[in-house]
Amino acid sequence: MVEVSIVVVDDHPLFRQGVINTLSLEPGFSVVGQAENGHDALAIIRKLHPCVAVVDINLPGVNGQQVTHQVVQEKLPTRIVLLTAYNDQEQIIHVAWAGAAAYCSKDVDPYHLVQAIKEVVEGKFVIEGRVFSKEEFSNWLEEEMEKARHLYSEPGSPFHPLSEREMEVLTCVVKGMSNKEIAASLGISHQTVKNHVTSILRKFGVEDRTQAVVYALKRGWVKLLDKHTQSQE
């Protein structure tokens, strides 16, 4: 039996270690690396080419959805199992379109997480406990996309992941920073910030910054930082 190499990515050390401990107990599984953010996750995946990466969708900086999209774009062999604390239909569609092989709630029990990974290794897709072949998954995604078409701003091209810079701008917006403050913080022009904000609003299909923040928070793509955390930055 070929050993299944796995990388675990989560910014909460206790939860990450729990997942590692669970998977390490499974015969045939080998946890070969771990990371606490999207940048490090991509570096490890590029270096080790694990069979599977178990990734929290809500990561600081580059989030799990962006990690997934990048892995798929680079045609890396690693299949992504995304874990989420936020479970809604729009997020499911986004992560499926990004290229995730599995999508599970973070309260999934160890047995079902292990089973999902085994299905993924066999080339299948697992969405909320439902197992699909590649063809079944394609058909399911097409049907779901059609039902949700009105949710997206550009018909015919329904998923537009944010670029790394747009994600940085969005994180600043969540902190309540003005365009001028964002420009100074990121070392870019005020007009460039405005362009990025406009692009974010278009991709989210919302009308203003507040709606963009609510949209991103609801899906777990960004986090609200408390005052103590912000004061340490």
Residue with tokens 């001028």: 180
Number of CB atoms found within 10 A of residue 66's CB: 23
19 vs 105: CA distance, rounded Å: 13
Question: Do the beta carbons of residue 197 and residue 173 sit within 8 Å?
Answer: yes
Mean pLDDT of 98-126: 94
Answer yes or no: is pLDDT of 95 > 70. yes
pLDDT tier at 147 (50, 70, 90 boundaries)?
low
pLDDT tier at 8 (50, 70, 90 boundaries)?
very high
Which residue has better confidence, 142 or 28?
28
Which residue has better confidence, 223 or 165?
165
Answer yes or no: is pLDDT of 37 > 80. yes
**What pLDDT was estimated at residue 141?**
82
Phi-psi bin for 53: left (phi > 0), alpha (psi -120 to 50), beta?
A: beta
**What pLDDT was estimated at residue 229?**
39
Question: Do the beta carbons of residue 2 and residue 29 sit within 8 Å?
Answer: no
Answer yes or no: is pLDDT of 32 > 60. yes
Closest of 60, 64, 65, 67 to residue 42, by C-alpha = 67
Sorted by sequence, the CB contacts under 8 Å of residue 108 that are 6+ apart come out as: 83, 116
Which residue has better confidence, 78 or 167?
78
- pLDDT, one tens digit per residue, over 54-67 is 999 988 878 898 89
**What pLDDT was estimated at residue 232?**
42
What domains sit in the chain, N to C, each tagged with a CATH number? 4-147 (3.40.50.2300), 164-232 (1.10.10.10)
Answer yes or no: is pLDDT of 233 > 60. no
How big is the chain by its Cα radius of gyration, in Å?
18
Which residue has better confidence, 205 or 77?
77
Of 51-60, 107-116, 170-179, 193-202, the least confident: 170-179
Question: Do the beta carbons of residue 9 and residue 41 sit within 8 Å?
Answer: yes
Question: What pTM was computed for the model?
Answer: 0.68
**What pLDDT was estimated at residue 222?**
74
